[in-house]
Amino acid sequence: MTGKLYGVGLGPGDPELVTVKAARLIGEADVIAYHSARHGRSIARSVAEPYFRGGQIEEALIYPVTTETTDHPGGYQGAIDEFYASCAERLAAHLDAGRTVVVLSEGDPLFYGSYMHMHKRLAGRYPTEVVPGVTSVSGASAVLGRPLVERDETLTVLPGTLPPDVLAERLAATDSAAVLKLGRTFERVKEAFTKAGRLDEAWYVERATTGAQRIAPLADVDPASVPYFSLALLPSPVNAALPVPAEAAPKPYGTGEVVVVGLGPAGSPWLTPEAQHELAAADELIGYGPYLDRVPPNPRQRRHPTDNRVEAERAAHALDLALAGSRVAVVSSGDPGVFAMASAVLEVSCEPRFADVPVRVVPGLTAAHAVASRVGAPLGHDYCVLSLSDLLKPWDIIAGRISAAAKADLVIAIYNPASRSRTWQVDAAKDLLLAHRAPDTPVVIGRAVGSPAETVTVTTLGDLDPAAVDMRCMLLIGSSTTRVADRPAGRVVYTPRRYPA
């Protein structure tokens, strides 16, 4: 006997909108399959994950191309067809072995869903069942609070990939409409609504029912901000007089602010009450993705994760949102004023267009203080803080400051000692320090402090192994007075407050 194939709809994004049947089948499945782009992150998997039982086989069906070009002999369509055929055979191997296979699908499996390509190739060969899900159109209508159709009205569902003239013709001829597949097509879709004379009736809904949900009049949306998982909605004209959804109501210009919030080095125990208050009060959260992930989702708030190397753009985005009336929290690990986002935000805020935007900084526990606390009080006397990153300042400046701090007999807290692309600086810094410090000077290496992967090592400057230092580490280099004491109750490292006469 073969296994059974299920195409399971997950709804528009809120895990609580997964049907009871879909949740049961996900938990019972031997194999769970899901599609994703080449980055490997699957929205479908993230929605369904609460219903996994653990230990199940996962088949990640990763597209070889999405919107980019390909050198496949059959072109884009040839590459996609070959991909679907390969995926179908991977699932067929499980079905032949008698395993139950669930293919996850956002929304409804047979409504613009990737599952349909598996269905066409496998449904004739194996027992198959499709479990419907709430569509993105229904989800968008619900969060917008506007009926799609009423009485004898007609609803038209259209792909945004249609030519603008064709799209405009169909929009003009229907009562209400939903236009899917936005993203790169958004400007053409907006052009079509304008040509049809219906732009002022249309709404934009992004990631409906999720914590990243966004609602706005279609005419007000910046094309550069539109992801694939969004749609344009033309609701029932009978209900055009309904009030504007509170989330989409325009806010008074210039009434927002930016608060740069320090999250501490890791985890909620090191988050201050003031920081918690500011995060809870924000309308929008902006930050480097992994740092933003440390803030619990709130469906009232919009989240804007970014890459780690776009600080100026991130700051400008935050200030633009504040200009439009939002209360924006820019999150930063540790303390935002120590090699972090506060200086970037304040620098951009000095541009004339942002001069009237209030900016506040909420401090956080620094990585240096967190590492020091794990061993005692190595920062108990005068100390300085340096970064070994030469991305924003030349190495000659860094080297001069290391030598000056070493010569001044300061304890030194070293941030950003190494990364995947910077592997030699720790060795160079060690040589500079040894020109002024004894080889037995205490050194503390703190890695991922505050996380489950935390390690803290006490060594000496002479024995410091640069290969043991990576991008998640911080170094504390002792002064001539820093002491390591092996007590029965445990080892401590401290720098006395009294300095020898």
Structural domains of the chain, ranges and CATH numbers in brackets: 5-133 (3.40.1010.10), 137-248 (3.30.950.10), 257-365 (3.40.1010.10), 368-494 (3.30.950.10)
User: Which of 291, 282, 290, 289 shows the shortest CA–CA distance to 318?
Assistant: 282
Nearest-angstrom CA–CA distance, 13 and 396:
51
pLDDT at 255: 59
Nearest-angstrom CA–CA distance, 361 and 73:
55
Nearest-angstrom CA–CA distance, 57 and 252:
51
User: 61-72: string of b/e by CB count within 10 Å (b at 16+)?
Assistant: beeeeeeeeeeb
Question: How far does Cα 292 stand from its chain's mean position?
Answer: 6
Instruction: Give per-residue pLDDT as tens, 49-90.
Output: 999 998 999 999 998 876 666 778 888 788 899 999 999 999
pLDDT at 253: 47
C-alpha pair distances (Å), 209 with each of 51, 430, 481:
18, 53, 58
pLDDT at 347: 93
Collapsed DSSP state (helix, strand, coil) of residue 204: strand
pLDDT at 310: 75
pLDDT at 227: 83
Residues of the chain predicted below pLDDT 70: 39, 66-69, 239-241, 244, 246-255, 308-309
Q: Return the DSSP state at 154.
A: -
Task: Say what angle helices 311-323 and 341-349 make with each other, to 10 degrees.
Answer: 60
Element of type H or E holding 413: strand 411-415
Alpha helices in 145-227 (DSSP H): 164-172, 186-195
On whether the CB atoms of residues 12 and 138 are closer than 8 A, the answer is: yes
pLDDT at 501: 73
pLDDT at 179: 97
User: Which of 237, 243, 275 shows the shortest CA–CA distance to 259?
Assistant: 275
Single-letter code of the amino acid located at 49: E
Instruction: Give per-residue pLDDT as tens, 421-474.
Output: 787 889 999 999 999 999 999 999 999 898 888 999 999 999 999 988 988 899
pLDDT at 248: 63
In DSSP terms, 284 is beta-bridged to: 302, 328
Question: How far does Cα 71 stand from its chain's mean position?
Answer: 31
Residue with token string 């991305």: 391
On whether the CB atoms of residues 259 and 329 are closer than 8 A, the answer is: yes
